[in-house]
């Protein structure tokens, strides 16, 4: 399936560029739940759509190729993909996991997996000594999100994957923030790549979807079995929306990343901003790792104002970005991690991780960055009086 084309060309010119039956330049949406079989002895490739469906198969093949994996799996949400991947574990197993992981993954690990006897240790994944110290004889998975959410800490995927191999464990990487346009964890040694395809892969705030990709035949067999057993598959209409979104992934990422850099730099120098967390700054603690393993710092960053009151004033006055949960869309999305993505974390756990009450996260969309800057400056001016700036 591999071709000599560059990433952006592959987004369009892959096995599914047209339908071999009709020549249609869009993957047909196959609604059938079941498929007629010729006779008792000979069953066709498809029998029931939970197990395999042509439209889902198309998107699964496309994402597998983009991540440089061999097998892709499409799920009804990012959490369905992540939860199904965790079903690779059994009672008595242990997970070493990034401490500032996505709130829904935190909830899954701390309140669901624990009921099935699957234990976990939260670590600062950027600190390899701390990660290794957390390993137990029953550790089965190293769970990485990089850059992390919402503080954009960067984990060395290659180093963690090596450590995981040393302890005979798997490395799972949530690649939602960067997508294969910027980072390919399987090529760095990871075993399972996970996505909330709701975000950049789909890109238009109009579908909830998840993806898992692997490069090992045995793992593929196990995840395929779990996908069919658990049954949280992506519906065919949403598979098609995801396929359509993916075609523009490269241009969207490029525009959004360029905008994020300009806006992050602007805010960094603004007196009303206390701190900007963006892995594209040369003084970011893991700048070198980010440069090594990804093509860009991404389109998401977070920033702190001088107080919660200033944050509230800013949010009340800013006009362009939608103020919402989620990220990775055509429109810029401003969110408040303490009450949105990380609401599932209790205040003490949030405080420990540095997710303060004055922290906001921005996912830069496709607007002209200067319009966003002008909008932000107007809103920030309103906060200046609060701090005599």
Ligand X SMILES: *Cc1c(COP(=O)(O)O)cnc(C)c1O
Residue 197 or 380 with smaller CB distance to ligand X:
197
State the pairing for strand pair 300-305/359-363: antiparallel
Distance CA 380, CA 27 (A): 46
CB of residue 316 vs ligand X: minimum separation in angstroms?
Answer: 25
Can 50 be counted among the known catalytic residues? Answer: yes
How far is residue 132's CA from residue 137's CA, in Å, rounded to a whole number?
12
Taking the complex as a whole, the smallest distance from the CB of residue 25 to ligand X amounts, in Å, to 28
Residue nearest to ligand X (CB): 78
- Token pair 């238009």 is found at 204
Of 79 and 318, the one with the shorter C-beta distance to ligand X is 79
Residue 106 bears catalytic tag: no
User: Please, what is the minimum distance in Å from the beta carbon of residue 367 to ligand X?
Assistant: 21
Closest distance between ligand X and the C-beta of residue 208, in Å? 5
d(CA 27, CA 338): 40
Residue in 93, 156, 174, 191 annotated catalytic: 174
| Nearer to ligand X (CB atom), residue 54 or residue 78 | 78
Exposure pattern of 287-300 as b/e (b: 16+ CB <10 Å)? Answer: bebbeebbbbbbbb
Residue 69, SS3 per DSSP: coil
DSSP per-residue letters across 8-52: HHHTTSSTTSS-TTT--SS------SB---SSSS---S-SBTTT-
Please state, in angstroms and rounded to a whole number, the distance separating the CA atoms of residues 25 and 27: 7
Q: Are 224 and 354 a contacting pair, CB within 8 Å? A: no
Closest CB to ligand X among 53 and 105?
Answer: 105
Residues making contact with ligand X (CB under 6 A): 77-79, 102, 104-105, 145, 149, 174, 176, 196, 198-199, 208, 210, 327
Contact 102, 355 (CB under 8 A): no
The least distance separating ligand X from the CB of residue 67, rounded to whole angstroms, comes to 15
Residue among 16 and 342 whose Cβ is closer to ligand X:
342
CB of 210 to ligand X, least distance (A): 5
Tokens 């401003």 — which residue? 334
Tell me whether residue 199 or residue 270 sits nearer to ligand X (CB atom). Answer: 199
- DSSP state string for 276-291: EE-TTSTTSTTHHHHH
Our CB check for ligand X shows the closer of 185 and 210 to be: 210
The one catalytic residue in 10, 19, 50, 381 is 50
Tokens, residue 5: 């084309």
Q: Tell the smallest beta-carbon distance from residue 234 to ligand X (Å).
A: 10
199 carries an active-site annotation: yes
Catalytic residue among 153, 199, 252, 361: 199
Name 341's Cβ contacts closer than 8 Å, sequence gap at least 6: 102, 103, 149, 150, 325, 335, 361
> Cα separation of 187 and 178, whole Å?
14
Gyration radius (Cα) of the chain, Å: 21
Task: Tell me which residues are annotated as active site.
Answer: 50, 102, 174, 199
């Amino acid at each position: 399936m591999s071709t000599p084309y560059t990433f952006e060309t592959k987004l369009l010119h892959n096995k599914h560029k047209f339908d071999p039956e009709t020549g249609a330049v869009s993957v047909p949406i196959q609604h059938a739940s079941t498929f007629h079989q010729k006779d008792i002895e000979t069953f066709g490739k498809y029998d029931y759509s939970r197990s395999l469906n042509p439209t889902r198969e198309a998107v699964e093949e496309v994402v597998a190729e983009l991540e440089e994996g061999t097998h892709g799996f499409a799920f009804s949400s990012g959490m369905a993909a992540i939860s199904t991947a965790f079903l690779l574990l059994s009672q008595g197993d242990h997970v070493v996991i990034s401490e500032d992981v996505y709130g829904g993954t935190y909830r899954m690990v701390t309140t669901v997996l624990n009921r099935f006897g699957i234990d976990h240790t939260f670590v600062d994944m950027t600190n390899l000594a701390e990660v290794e110290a957390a390993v137990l004889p029953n550790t089965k998975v190293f769970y990485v999100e990089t850059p992390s959410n919402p503080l954009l800490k960067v984990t060395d995927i290659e180093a963690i994957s090596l450590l995981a191999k040393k302890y005979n464990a798997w490395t799972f990487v949530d690649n939602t923030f960067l997508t294969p346009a910027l980072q390919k964890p399987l090529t760095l040694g990871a075993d399972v790549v996970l996505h909330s395809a709701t975000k950049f892969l789909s890109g238009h705030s109009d579908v909830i979807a998840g993806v898992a990709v692997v490069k090992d035949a045995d793992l593929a067999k196990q995840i395929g079995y779990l996908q069919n057993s658990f049954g949280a598959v992506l519906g065919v209409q949403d598979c098609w929306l995801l396929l359509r979104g993916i075609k523009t992934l490269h241009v969207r990422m490029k525009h959004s990343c360029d905008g994020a850099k300009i806006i992050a730099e602007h805010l960094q120098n603004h007196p009303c901003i206390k701190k900007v967390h963006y892995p594209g700054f040369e003084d970011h603690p893991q700048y070198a790792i980010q440069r090594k393993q990804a093509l860009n710092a991404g389109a998401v960053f977070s920033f702190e104002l001088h107080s919660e009151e200033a944050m509230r004033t800013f949010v009340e006055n800013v006009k362009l970005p939608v103020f919402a949960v989620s990220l990775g869309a055509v429109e810029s999305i401003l969110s408040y991690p303490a009450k949105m993505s990380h609401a599932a974390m209790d205040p003490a756990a949030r405080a420990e991780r540095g997710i303060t009450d004055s922290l906001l996260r921005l996912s830069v969309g496709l607007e002209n960055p200067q319009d966003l800057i002008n909008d932000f400056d107007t809103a920030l001016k309103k906060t200046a009086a609060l701090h005599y700036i």
